[in-house]
Structures are given as structure tokens and as C-alpha cells.
Structure 1
Amino acid sequence: MSYLESLRVFVRVVELGSITAGGRDLRLSPAVASNRIKDLENRFGVRLLNRTTRKLTPTEIGRAFYDHARRVIDTLDEAEAMVSSFSGKPQGVIRLTAPLGLGRRLIAPLIPPFCDANPGVDFRLRLSDRNVNIVEDAIDLAFFLGEPADSALKWRKIADAPRVLVASPEYLAEHGTPRKPEELADHNCLLLRYPRSPEYFWVLQTDQGQQKMMINGRYDTDDGDVLRSWALGGHGIANRPLYEVSEDLASGRLIKILPEAPPLPAQFGCLTPHRRLQDPKVRMFADFAVRELKKIF
């Protein structure tokens, strides 16, 4: 492995806080990744990382070295992007992230046809319903439902994604069907929650305008697909994107609740770090994805 590749290993290990995670991100075993770090330390005769059984952190010189190494890699990536823009043949890795359900249903199917048309491009798709630090995790393109808050990122809107309240026929037969938003307080609402981003209310569109409904429920999870499965199992009322439950509604497995007062739609779009905007392969995939996804919404 070249010196430059060892730099990449070191940078990802620092950013992910783990030799195992950094190696995995670059498709290397922990042993190989550890050896790359040792090679750098032997080369310079300094310790770059402090290692304990629980934590890995850069030393003072390691932090300074990381800052320079990160700039070297960014400059190289920009140079490769410039060359590929002239050659017309995109090369390299695109790192994507998306929420779990959205990523499985809408984003993952887009990758094989794009790769078939662009054999020089590889993908790293990471799916999570938790907040992802796009800059620290070196993400090229993040698909996103909701309101983007980080002004350091470029937001490209794809569509408004309608949301619906749903429950199974079995749940409604046992617990009754809410006829007005206030009656949601008497039901088991299935909640999407994760650390530092709790969902304690739903905002519904009513004849009187937007109405914030405080809700309660015995179940919460950080996985939207689990919410859908709980709703299908008759355990409560879920607030889900329409694309996620459209087949369930058509088949009758789920019933739409309060259709006259639906939840606010979620903005659906993609976020790109400014330093990645000129990368042609990222721009090409973003254009391709937006074009295909607009056919759905």
C-alpha cells in the first residue's frame, strides 16, 4: 500500500475514532489498517494516536498531521475530479447516506443502473435514521427528509413527500377510529425517536391551519421500517411517508386515519458539502437520482 493510501487510512481512523471502523470504511481488515498507522508512525518517529482499550484519540502532533493530511486528500480528490471531468469517464468512490426506509426503497435501486453506465464508479451506501455528520463522515451526497439546518451544506430539493397517519384494521376494530385530531391522545401512537432528536408531537394540516398535536405511545424506535411493521401488526397508529405505505393502503393492510387532517409533508432532497460540488461523478449521480425520483413523487 502506498504512502498516500496510508494517509487515507489515518484520516478515516481519526474521523471515525476507531481503527476497526476506519479500516472497514476503506474495506481493510483491522490488522491491515493498524499496520498502516504503524508504518506512518515509524516513518516519522512519532506517535500519532493514543490507544486505550476503550478510546482512540490523536496525539497533539497527530491532530496537526491529520489537518494537513485531510487537505492533501481533499486536494487530490479535487484533482482527480478535474481530470475525470475532461475525460468524460467518472472515476472513484461516491459515499451516500439516506434514512433506512427511504434508502432501501428509493436510493439503493438507483445504484446498479448508474454503475452499469459508469463502470469506473464505486458506491458506499450507509443507511441510518439517526443524524449523520456529513462533513466529518466524508459523505458526498446525503438524501434527507425534513428541514435541513446546516447552512454549510448545499440543499437541493427533490419534492414534497406526503405523509399519512395509518393503522391496521385490527387495531381500529379494537380501539376505535379517531374522528378528530384531539382523539389521537387516546391512542397508542408509534414514535420515531433517537438520541437528541425526540418526536413528541405531530403537526397536522386542519381547517384551522397547522395544529401541533401532543402524542403518546408505549413503543418508540429509531427505525422507520419497525414503525411500519408495528402498525401492520395492529399495535398502534403510525405517521409515515406515503411512498412507504402506499402498497399497504392499496391492499387494505393499513387504513388511512384522519385523511382530512394529514400530517405536514416532509421536504425530500439531497445535501452536498460545498467542497464536493465540483466533483463530476457526484453531480452526475445527483442529477440522475433527482430525475428518477421525481417520477415517483
Structure 2
Amino acid sequence: MKIENLADLRVLVLTAQGGTLSAAGRALGLTPAAASAALKRLEAQLGARLFERSTRAMRLTPQGQTLLDYATRALDLLAEGESLVAAEGGALVGTVRVASPSDLTRGTLLPWFDDFLDAHPGVQLALSVGDRPLDVMRDEVDVALRYGPLADSRLVARQLAMSRPRLWASPAYLKQHGSPQKPQDLPQHNCLTFHRGGRRQRVWRFAKQGQWTEVRVDGDRFADDASLARQWALAGRGITFKSELDVRQDEAAGTLVCLLPDWDTEPYPLHALLPSGRFVPARVRALVDFLAERFAVMGARENCVQSTP
């Protein structure tokens, strides 16, 4: 039997958010009994238990989690449609929840987000910054910007940019310790590593004339936040291996120097990841389109600079 009452879905969503039927009832102006009846009606229509109930709280079942993911996005989409109908000129409205890497956000994205919000005053940005892995399907995220190959085929991805990781060090470090002349010199240097995809990246890969070599590196510090590796490199503490996009401003300012530029490294794509190809709000699509355009312009400018004699 199909779901017959949209209000019942709101009870599901608010119960999951607040942990109790009482909290959901208060938010919707319902008595606890009415909220409980709505949830039981929904479970009866679906023929599945959506929550495990206890005296302290209510916990979603796997079936409940699945329905919650779709219900949240369906209600968001409906709210946006209502707002677009009511708004003059069909202006974008609502919150866009974005997760993005630390250095990329601080070095490139923050002014772009400002420009997008200035162009769409009805949109709010909820920004989660960090390099720890997250589950885009479960977490409250509309779009996640992530480096590297795709690991989850359930996600819808759009490539925004293609970069490569490079070796970076400060002039102060190079003055004191010298510059590596080949990848095999790196074990003699203090290499600043960080976690990617939940694992510490201690094997760095390089190629010349199609021949790849792997170098295992180490150093006196590592972090689960890639921005700390960049900060340590800026402070002259060692050499790090990061995307060109993350250190554009540092390279332009001369505070970080690219090492071994004649060695190739593996492509490092940046994707916008969406939890689903369906029920994507217009404000989310607009932000992804906006970022894709900005990255395309930035890439064209960099290519132009590199090709200039």
C-alpha cells in the first residue's frame, strides 16, 4: 500500500532528528498520541517497522533509515517547489549543505561561495569543512566535494577539475635541508603525511617516461586533516604531497615551492558527489553548475599562463 499522508512522513523525519515522538509532536503541533498514531499508520501502510522503540529513545531500523533518506529529500524538494511558485521570478531558496576539503575551501572556495550567495540571497550555506571520510548517503549533505577516484557507485558524481598532487616545501626548509633531486631522495627528508580515505598516505608515486616508481616516506608528524600538513610545510617543517589546487595561493606568493616538477604524478580528480540523481533541489544543481564554471575558468587561465613563453 502506498503512503497516503505527507504529514506522516514529517513525523518520521522529525522523530529521527529529535529522537522521540514527543519532540516530533511538539514541532508539528501534535499530541504524543497523534504523533504515535501517524507513525503506526505509516508502518502499517509500508508493512515494515521503521523504529526500534525503547523507554529512552527511538532508533531507526534499516528500513526506517532507507525511507528517511528519501523522505528528507522529497520534503526538501517539495518545500523548494512551493517557495519557487511563491517567489517572484522563481528565485532560489533554501539551505545547501556542502562538505568540502579544508585547504581547497580556505584557499579557493570561500570567495566563490560568497559570490554564489550574493547572487542568490534566498539561499543559505551550511558548510562542513574537513578531510575525514564521510558517508554522503547517511550524513545530512546535499553535495560533497571530494578528491580521488570514486569508491561508491551509488553516488552521482560530476567532475569539477583535474589536478595532480605535487611535492611542496618552503624556501626555509630547502635552505636548511636542500632539495630532493629524485623521488628516491625523499626517505632522507621529513615528509609530512596525512590521512586520505581514512588511511595514512605513506607511499608516494612518481613517473618519468612512462616508468612508475613508488617511494615509502616518513616524518616526525602526520595528521587526519590535510590542512595541517600544508601548515607544517609553510612553517618549514618538511615536504608534503598535495593537490596543486590546494596550494595555488602559496605557490603564487612564493611561500611554497614545487619540487621535482619534471616528474609525473597520478591524476587527482575533484568531484561533486550527490547522494542521488533524483530529487536534487534546484539550488544544489545551481551551486554545482556555478562551481564547475569557476573551475573551468580557473583551468583555462592556468593553461594560458603555462603556455606563455
TM-score (norm 2): 0.75
Partner in structure 1 of residue 183 of structure 2: 181
1:12 and 2:14 are equivalent in the alignment: no
Partner in structure 1 of residue 289 of structure 2: 287
In the aligned structure 2, how far is the partner of 1:276 from the partner of 1:182?
Answer: 48
Partner in structure 1 of residue 257 of structure 2: 255
Q: Secondary structure in 2 aligned to 1:105?
A: helix
- Displacement of 1:280 after TM fit? 1.6
In the aligned structure 2, how far is the partner of 1:73 from the partner of 1:59?
Answer: 14
Q: 1:156 to 1:195 in 2, by over 3 A?
A: closer
Q: Secondary structure in 2 aligned to 1:295?
A: helix
Q: 1:11 to 1:90 in 2, by over 3 A?
A: farther
1:103-134 per-residue CA deviation (whole Å, 9 max, x = no partner) reads 22233322232223223222211111011111
Q: Secondary structure in 2 aligned to 1:294?
A: helix
Q: 1:48 to 1:275 in 2, by over 3 A?
A: farther
- Displacement of 1:69 after TM fit? 5.0
Rg larger in structure: 2
In the aligned structure 2, how far is the partner of 1:117 from the partner of 1:133?
Answer: 30
Which residue of 166, 172, 190 maps to 2:192?
A: 190
Partner in structure 2 of residue 77 of structure 1: 76
In the aligned structure 2, how far is the partner of 1:126 from the partner of 1:156?
Answer: 19
Partner in structure 1 of residue 248 of structure 2: 246
In the aligned structure 2, how far is the partner of 1:105 from the partner of 1:40?
Answer: 49
In 2, are the aligned partners of 1:239 and 1:263 still within 8 Å (CA)?
no
Q: Secondary structure in 2 aligned to 1:112?
A: helix
Partner in structure 1 of residue 306 of structure 2: none
Partner in structure 1 of residue 237 of structure 2: 235
Choose 270-279 or 92-101, whichever is displaced more. Answer: 270-279
- Displacement of 1:248 after TM fit? 2.9
Structure 2 unmatched runs, 5+: 1-6, 41-50, 300-309
Q: 1:59 to 1:101 in 2, by over 3 A?
A: closer
Q: How many residues align?
A: 276
- Displacement of 1:158 after TM fit? 1.7
Matches within 5 A, 1:129-168: 129-168=131-170
In the aligned structure 2, how far is the partner of 1:12 from the partner of 1:275?
Answer: 24
1:101 and 2:103 are equivalent in the alignment: yes
Which residue of 253, 267, 270 maps to 1:268?
A: 270
In 2, are the aligned partners of 1:158 and 1:268 still within 8 Å (CA)?
yes
- Displacement of 1:240 after TM fit? 1.8
Q: What is the RMSD of the two structures over their aligned residues, measured on CA atoms?
A: 3.5
Structure 1 unmatched runs, 5+: 20-31
Partner in structure 1 of residue 59 of structure 2: 58
- Displacement of 1:264 after TM fit? 2.5
In 2, are the aligned partners of 1:163 and 1:266 still within 8 Å (CA)?
yes
Which residue of 228, 231, 238 maps to 1:226?
A: 228
Q: 1:65 to 1:167 in 2, by over 3 A?
A: closer
Q: 1:40 to 1:188 in 2, by over 3 A?
A: farther
Q: Which amino acid aligns with 1:272?
A: L
Q: 1:68 to 1:232 in 2, by over 3 A?
A: closer
In the aligned structure 2, how far is the partner of 1:130 from the partner of 1:169?
Answer: 29
Partner in structure 2 of residue 116 of structure 1: 118
Q: Secondary structure in 2 aligned to 1:133?
A: coil
1:225-268 per-residue CA deviation (whole Å, 9 max, x = no partner) reads 21112112221111122233233334433222212114334101
Partner in structure 2 of residue 24 of structure 1: none
Q: Secondary structure in 2 aligned to 1:147?
A: coil
TM-score (norm 1): 0.78
Partner in structure 2 of residue 23 of structure 1: none
1:25-62 per-residue CA deviation (whole Å, 9 max, x = no partner) reads xxxxxxx889759x78554289966588xxx76176xx
1:184-223 per-residue CA deviation (whole Å, 9 max, x = no partner) reads 1111110012683221211113234332221112210122
Q: Which amino acid aligns with 1:90?
A: L
In the aligned structure 2, how far is the partner of 1:197 from the partner of 1:13?
Answer: 33
- Displacement of 1:290 after TM fit? 0.7
Q: Which amino acid aligns with 1:116?
A: D
